[in-house]
Structure 1
Amino acid sequence: MTLSSTLQKAFAPTGVLRASINLGNPILAHRNASDGEPGGVSVDIARELASRLGVGITFSAFDTAAKSVETVTNEAADIGFFAIDPLRGAGIAFTAPYVLIEGYYLVRDDSPLTRNDEVDREGNRIMVGKGSAYDLFLTRETKRAQIVRTESSQAVVEAFLRDGLEVAAGVKQQLEADAARTPGLRLLDQRFMVIQQAMGLPKSRGDEAAHFLREFVEDVKRSGFVASALSRHGIKGASVAPPSQA
């Protein structure tokens, strides 16, 4: 596929595609034990995009979604991988989601809480990773419980235990992994949200680039690329998003 120089410039104004990677979501990204470089589903997708654009790629990895969003919004990176949220959409043009991930609550075994609708009550404190998709969602939706924020999604359960809070919120797989290492914890039995993971680029890059990225995401879903990446990295509990109806 031959791309216009205008489109290449929109995606890679420095000559290489600069991808912002959020390591705070272990389903989609991690550091490789062998070399410390970013790896995972989102890294594979970024490399595929760079290949189709005919440019090289560099990665900036962050431990929180908020830092990753800020980097793309400020155009210190050209693309990123984020949960869709209206607040983030002010400066970023999103694609449709490529992966769907479940958000869950975690409590202690002796907690009286057994259902999601019992969480948003006076006296309950919910620990979240600052700036995460579920932080933004719960900040909008929670009416009575108190939201308490820690520096990253990986630190949620540790901070929840240390500070004696009633509830921890997060991505199901991260909470399950933390609970497996720490006896006496359990997840409530239903998800409280579905996190729509999408790609995005600065809105200033224009409609042509935004359209190309949307079509790219639809293609990697349709072709099986995303499903293969999830399988290759051993990811459970996340699913390929359905085709966009837009």
Structure 2
Amino acid sequence: MKKTISILLALMLLFALVACGGGTKQPDPTPTSTGQGGEGGDKLPAQVQAIVDRGTLRVGVKVDVPGFGFQNPDTGEMEGIEIDIARELAKRLLGDETKISTTGVTAQTRGPLLDNNEVDMIIATFTITEERKQSFNFTEPYYTDAIGFLVKKDSGIETMQDLDGKTIGVAQSATTKDAIIEKAKELGISVSFSEYASYPEINAALASGRIDAFSVDKSILLGYINDTTKILEEGFKPQEYGIATKFDNKDLAAYVNDFVAEIKADGTMDAILAKWGLK
């Protein structure tokens, strides 16, 4: 009897040890995100993830604005502040600054390209206005500049007052014309306008004498100055440039806005501006 009880006690002890020890379940690993571009494993918004999945950032840029977005005629390569911004975004989102596809835009075509989903965003001296905010998302400004005038050195034009009765060349669909009209009323002068599709066309019109002044933001004019022309010292109506995204793409807009804030805070934007001789 004692032997039977001893055997039963031994078996009970063995079962207890197996239940408490050998069958212990290990903790399940914590799931983590492996998506590129996410910080700290955070999941990317669907609109941003779509760019990651595609593997290419599609950007609308200027091709005729030296210093901002310009196709180098010698190399065929795109260069400028806004090209470098696009490359920095591609590096942070896709891990490779070369993973960008650029499309040349003008003031007339940049909106339709966004609306038709042909580009993910526009980085093309796109001035932020309240009216435009009704149609597109804009980031906080990455650059601010004033409107100026490029004139011939022998024109006798030294100030904005001297533009009275003159013809000014401006880009189609740009904010420049309305700003000049407002300023002309303030100064009590009268001016007329000729509108062109591109900056090189305006510059050619100035060279041939078809217009008296070429007007756009001063930093853009710097790319067109030569030995026979000068930029008037006066500037007015500061223009803020922002990255634009399609109005419906709110998540992408928020992501890109955070990116702009980051490159301004960490010194990257200052380095890009210094590289191209601006501040």
**Corresponding residue of 1:218:** 261
**Corresponding residue of 1:69:** 111
**Corresponding residue of 2:240:** 196
Q: Judge conservation of contact 2:148–2:217 (CA < 8 Å) in 1.
A: yes
Q: Which range moved further: 48-57 or 77-86?
A: 48-57
> What TM-score comes out, normalization by structure 2 length?
0.70
Q: CA deviation at 1:26?
A: 1.8
**Corresponding residue of 2:176:** 134
Q: CA deviation at 1:178?
A: 3.4
Q: CA deviation at 1:204?
A: 0.9
**Corresponding residue of 2:230:** 186
Aligned match for 2:191, one of 142, 145, 156? 145
Aligned match for 2:84, one of 44, 47, 55? 44
**SS class of match (1:105):** strand
Q: CA deviation at 1:140?
A: 6.0
Q: Judge conservation of contact 1:3–1:53 (CA < 8 Å) in 2.
A: no
Task: Label 1:117 to 1:12 Cα distance change in 2 as closer, same or farther (>3 A).
Answer: farther
Aligned match for 1:104, one of 135, 145, 148? 148
What is the CA–CA distance in structure 1 between the aligned matches of 2:117 and 2:108, rounded to whole Å?
14
Q: Judge conservation of contact 1:100–1:196 (CA < 8 Å) in 2.
A: yes
Q: Judge conservation of contact 2:60–2:103 (CA < 8 Å) in 1.
A: yes
**Corresponding residue of 1:209:** 252
Q: Which range moved further: 132-141 or 216-225?
A: 132-141
What is the CA–CA distance in structure 2 between the aligned matches of 1:227 and 1:203, rounded to whole Å?
28
**SS class of match (1:42):** helix
Which aligned segments of 4 or more residues in structure 1 are displaced greater than 6 angstroms? none
Runs of 5+ consecutive residues of structure 2 not aligned to the other structure: 1-38
* Residue 156 (structure 2) pairs with residue 125 (structure 1): no
- Return the letter of the residue paired with 2:118: A
Equivalent positions of 1:70-85 (< 5 A) are 70-81=112-123, 82-85=126-129
**SS class of match (2:233):** coil
**SS class of match (1:204):** coil
What is the CA–CA distance in structure 2 between the aligned matches of 1:43 and 1:176, rounded to whole Å?
18
Q: Judge conservation of contact 1:73–1:91 (CA < 8 Å) in 2.
A: no
* Residue 258 (structure 2) pairs with residue 228 (structure 1): no
Task: Label 1:86 to 1:159 Cα distance change in 2 as closer, same or farther (>3 A).
Answer: farther
What is the CA–CA distance in structure 2 between the aligned matches of 1:161 and 1:172, rounded to whole Å?
18
Deviations 1:166-192 (A, max 9, x none): 2221233443453424x2x33222113
Task: Output the aligned Cα RMSD.
Answer: 2.8
- Return the letter of the residue paired with 1:77: V
**Corresponding residue of 2:210:** 164
Q: Higher relative CO (CA 8 A, sep ≥ 6), structure 1 or 2?
A: 1
Give the fraction of aligned pairs with identical amino acids, expressed as a percent. 21
**SS class of match (1:126):** strand
Higher strand share: 1
What is the CA–CA distance in structure 1 between the aligned matches of 2:252 and 2:91, rounded to whole Å?
15
Q: Judge conservation of contact 2:90–2:100 (CA < 8 Å) in 1.
A: no
Deviations 1:159-214 (A, max 9, x none): 12324322221233443453424x2x3322211332212111111112x3222221
